[in-house]
């Protein structure tokens, strides 16, 4: 029997963050994002083997750069082929600086990049490294801002014409105008724009600053949403209102989703054990990366709670979401922000919908995608780090 080949350590020699500027999409937030704001960053990890891995962070890129200054001494010289051990080392040695904020977000991008390196070193896609592939395709839901009804209908119809067959509308005026008739008119317009056969989800965006509503509003709104065959009601309540979420889930005729603002697996435990959600939505670019998210997903599976990752991110974040969608049972959707240049405009081969509105999950080594440096140069001052 031949002796198995053992991989030599692949040492990290440099790590850098590239903030993205210039085309940041609107978020529908009270304090609206401006195009020149940075809300995303890309991470590049360079190794002594000449392999470079890439990751994505959902935070201001300048915060990610500051986070790297803290994390670099713990990271340089480490074996990039051991993402879970190295990532846990970063968590364990930075607890005293606060858990779940900038450092955790930055660690997320580092972890994704190390999984990318591990895949490239072994010749395997990340999904296979996570234990196997349950599927080769998955349906992206087009994530769009709420608009006034007439515009809402036109916007979703336009993306339906591009081939999307699942949609999420959220934030914007929904719930903030204190007009339940407007809320319903927006949802009705979206349903009319995509037709009866497409999936529709609604995101109230109650993690926005000074969210004005509570449990009773959420219950009444859930009743309205069922009339439009809405597949889930997301972020219906303030993100710390766990008791109200438990009550809402028991009473709501539509599934309740949330969890995008939680970070670290420990933060998810009470929400899972108490049954606060029908659908859990961790964000791999915030929660601690693939190493952390895989643990959350399996915990959710054990509690009978569905997993749909939060993916309001970049093309590298989508790539990580796709790899994870392949690696777990029962995953049928990934989030895909509509019209963001940071998703559509930075890859050598952009994502393309098939005739059924599905995305093929990349099966090349690592995350399975390649950055186009010339395209990336439009959105970051130093694309040379890649």
Structure confidence by residue, pLDDT tens digits, 103-154: 999 999 999 999 999 999 999 999 999 999 999 999 999 999 999 999 999 9
How far apart CA 165 and CA 146 sit, in angstroms, is: 17
Is 310 in the active site? Answer: yes
Which residues of the chain does CATH 3.30.390.10 include?
A: 12-124
Q: Which of 40, 46, 105, 310 is catalytic?
A: 310
Tell me if 112 sits within 8 A of 320, measured CB to CB: yes
- Torsion angle defined by CA atoms of residues 359, 362, 367 and 369, in that order, rounded to the nearest 10 degrees: -90
pLDDT tens sequence for the chain (386 residues): 666 678 999 999 999 999 999 999 889 998 999 988 999 999 999 999 999 999 999 999 999 999 999 999 999 999 999 999 999 999 999 999 988 999 999 999 999 999 999 999 999 999 999 999 999 999 999 999 999 999 999 999 999 999 999 999 999 999 998 899 999 999 999 999 999 999 999 999 999 999 999 999 999 999 999 999 999 999 999 999 999 999 999 999 999 999 999 999 999 999 999 999 999 999 999 999 999 999 999 999 999 999 999 999 999 999 999 999 999 999 999 999 999 999 999 999 999 999 999 999 999 999 999 999 999 999 998 888 77
Q: What is the pLDDT of residue 1?
A: 66
Asked whether 254 and 227 are in contact (CB, 8 A), the reply is no
Tell me what pLDDT residue 35 has: 86
Instruction: Name the segment(s) of the chain with CATH classification 3.20.20.120.
Output: 128-374
State whether the Cα torsion 364-365-368-371 is positive or negative: negative
pLDDT of residue 382: 81
CATH topology classification for 12-124: Enolase-like; domain 1 (3.30.390)
The reply to whether CATH 3.40.1390.30 applies to domain 128-374 is no
* Distance set, CA 381 to CA 21, 74, 313 (Å): 8, 26, 19
Pairing of strands 41-47, 279-280: unpaired
- 334 pairs with which residues across the strands? 140
The pLDDT, as a whole number, for residue 22 is 93
Q: What is the pTM for the complete model shown?
A: 0.97
CB atoms < 10 A from the CB of 378, how many? 14
pLDDT, residue 177, reads: 87
Q: Cα separation of 69 and 92, whole Å?
A: 17
């Amino acid at each position: 029997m031949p002796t198995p080949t053992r991989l030599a350590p692949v040492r990290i020699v440099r790590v850098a963050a590239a903030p993205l500027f210039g085309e940041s999409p609107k978020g529908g937030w009270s304090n609206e994002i401006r195009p020149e704001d940075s809300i995303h960053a890309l991470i590049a990890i360079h190794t002594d083997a000449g392999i470079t891995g890439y990751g994505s962070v959902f935070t201001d890129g300048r915060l990610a750069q500051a986070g790297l200054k803290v994390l670099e001494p713990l990271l340089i010289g480490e074996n990039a082929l051991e993402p879970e051990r190295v990532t846990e080392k970063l968590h364990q040695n930075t607890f005293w600086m606060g858990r779940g904020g900038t450092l955790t977000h930055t660690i997320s991008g580092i972890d994704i990049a190390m999984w990318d390196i591990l895949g490239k070193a072994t010749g395997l896609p990340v999904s296979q490294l996570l234990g196997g592939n349950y599927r080769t395709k998955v349906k992206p839901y087009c994530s769009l801002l709420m608009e006034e009804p007439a515009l809402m209908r036109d916007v979703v119809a336009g993306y339906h014409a591009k081939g999307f067959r699942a949609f999420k509308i959220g934030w914007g005026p929904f719930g903030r105008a204190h007009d339940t008739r407007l809320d319903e008119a927006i949802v009705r317009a979206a349903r009319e724009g995509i037709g009866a056969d497409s999936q529709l989800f609604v995101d109230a965006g109650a993690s926005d600053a000074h969210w004005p509503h509570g449990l009773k509003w959420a219950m009444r709104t859930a009743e309205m949403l069922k009339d439009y065959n809405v597949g889930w009601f997301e972020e219906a309540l303030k993100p710390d209102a766990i008791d109200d979420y438990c009550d809402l889930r028991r009473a709501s005729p539509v599934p309740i989703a949330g969890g995008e603002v939680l970070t670290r697996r420990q933060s998810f435990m009470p929400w899972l054990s108490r049954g606060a959600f029908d659908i859990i939505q961790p964000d791999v670019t915030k929660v601690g990366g693939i190493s952390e998210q895989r643990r959350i997903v399996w915990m959710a599976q054990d509690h009978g709670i569905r997993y749909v990752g939060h993916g309001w991110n970049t093309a590298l974040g989508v790539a990580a979401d796709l790899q994870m969608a392949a690696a777990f049972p029962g995953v049928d959707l990934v989030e895909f922000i509509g019209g963001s240049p940071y998703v559509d405009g930075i890859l050598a081969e952009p994502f393309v919908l098939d005739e059924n509105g599905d995305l093929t999950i990349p099966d090349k080594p690592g995350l399975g995608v390649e950055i186009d440096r010339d395209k990336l140069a439009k959105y970051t001052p130093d694309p040379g780090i890649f």
